[in-house]
Amino acid sequence: MKNDAQIQKDVIAQLNWEPVLNAAEIGVSVKEGIVTLNGIVDTYTKKLAAERVAKGVLGVRAVAEDIQVGVSPFFRRTDTEIAEAVLNALKWHTTVNEDKIKIKVEDGVVTLDGQVEWDYQRRAAKTAIENLSGIRTIYNFISVKPAANPVDIKKKITDSFHRMANVDAEKLSVDIIGSKAILRGRVHSIKEKEDAADVAWAAPGIMNVDNQLEVIVEELVF
């Protein structure tokens, strides 16, 4: 099993490998497999990329991301310009019904609110605007309409786990309380943990996922 120093070295190497990032802008520390990222980047896209890269490194159990976005003069936009760009992006995104989404922009911080039928629509709204220039961060407060029977929801999620090649369904359990799904069990990576959560989020009527899955990093045998 990797120690913290090895994980830190690998995360830094992967940050250097990512074309969109300048690894010198990002600090990396590791304690018991938990990676903390900090620093200042000039776009929200780079902030997301750094987190994604760190999560993909073998041995990483969790990522605490404290990267700040300091928008450079080249990317700076007024709040009005950002709001117009957000509205336009949502309008042209086929998955998103922009009429159900409210937008607020203050000092480059975009807040999305409203209610949609499915979680994929909630996530799509955020994804549609992530690459817009001038945005410092995005708060997605869009909710999903409650629906369906808890027993049916649990069965749909469990059946989906069994269809997934990268998830050991026998080691996972699901409980449904109202519109919340609680996931318990063990997985082998953050990616597997997030994939399991994505399945739960995709179920109709789920508005909250309590992902209690534990990442167990097994030692490689050569």
Fold assignment, 150-215: Histidine-containing Protein; Chain: A; (3.30.1340)
* Both tokens assigned to 152: 């049916």
Fold assignment, 79-144: Alpha-Beta Plaits (3.30.70)
* Both tokens assigned to 58: 């073998």
Placement of tokens 């009527």 in the chain: 205
Q: What is the pLDDT of residues 134-182, one digit of tens each?
A: 888 899 999 887 666 888 889 989 999 989 877 788 889 999 988 889 9
101-104: Cβ within 8 A, 24+ apart:
101/125, 101/142
Placement of tokens 């300091």 in the chain: 70
Report whether 144 contacts 207 (CB < 8 A): yes
Mean pLDDT of 181-191: 90
Burial class (CB in 10 A: 0-12, 13-18, 19+), 19: exposed
Could you check whether 79-144 and 150-215 share the same CATH topology?
no
Strand partners, 30: 35
Q: What is the pLDDT of residues 19-61, one digit of tens each?
A: 888 888 999 999 998 999 999 888 888 898 999 999 889 889 8
User: Which of 33, 36, 51, 14 shows the shortest CA–CA distance to 216?
Assistant: 33
* Residue 183 pLDDT level (bands cut at 50, 70, 90): very high
Residue bearing the bigger pLDDT, 205 or 157: 157
* Residue 75 pLDDT level (bands cut at 50, 70, 90): low
Alpha-carbon span 4 to 35, nearest angstrom: 9
Q: What is the pLDDT of residues 94-144, one digit of tens each?
A: 788 888 899 999 988 999 999 888 888 888 999 999 888 888 889 999 988
Q: What is the pLDDT of residue 148?
A: 64
Q: What's the distance, CA 2 to chain centroid?
A: 25
Calculate the average pLDDT of the chain: 87
What is the helix (H) or strand (E) element at residue 46, kind and residue range?
helix 44-55
Placement of tokens 């369904």 in the chain: 169
Q: What is the pLDDT of residue 134?
A: 87
**For the sheet containing 26-31, what is the strand order?**
26-31, 34-41, 62-69
Supply the DSSP symbol for 179: T
Placement of tokens 């069994």 in the chain: 162
Domain residue spans in the chain?
A: 4-69, 79-144, 150-215
pLDDT of 217 higher than 80 = no
Fold assignment, 4-69: Histidine-containing Protein; Chain: A; (3.30.1340)
Alpha-carbon span 79 to 90, nearest angstrom: 16
